[in-house]
Amino acid sequence: MRAALALAFILFAAPALAQYWTHYANARFGYEIDAPPGFEHGGESANGDGQTFYDLEAEQGLRVWGGYFLDGFEAEAATAVTQATAEMWSITNQSLTPQWASFTAQRDHRIMVQRMIGLCDGASYAAFRLEFNMGDLSRMDAVIDGLARSFRPSNC
């Protein structure tokens, strides 16, 4: 009887536990973000600038990283849009402020959302890039909102 109850608890609790977002903080650049439920950690990059998360079953990927800019935050954001265009992404929406920038793009059946924020030192930025299939767009709205809400500089 106890074994059956334990098994029932595990079966019903596992999906509930899988619904939690995972917090990631980058010490090198000083930013943090929450990774969505179902995304596996791909491991910290060799240079410590960020991490990759993925959901192989859903064909979704999230990459977060930090970097330094030479000509200011707005120039770095413009460079990101130019690079995406060079990678054959069609930009569908973009916003730019002195503190953050974001753009959305489409290529074939894929959607890409990229967001950048200026960091506390005034000389660096952090970015995330989420890619997913177009058919998942309605389900990804809450994920995009959660990423944007949790993405922030730390230790300012």
Residue 12 inside a domain? The answer is no
Residue 6 inside a domain? The answer is no
pLDDT of res. 39: 95
pLDDT of res. 155: 80
Burial (0-12, 13-18, 19+ Cβ within 10 Å), 14: exposed
pLDDT of res. 99: 93
Element (H, E) at 74: helix 73-86
| This prediction's pTM | 0.85
Residue 61: closest CA among 132, 136, 135, 138: 132
Q: For the chain, how many structural domains are there in total?
A: 1
Pick out the chain residues at pLDDT < 50.
3-18
Residue 8 inside a domain? The answer is no
Residue 3 inside a domain? The answer is no
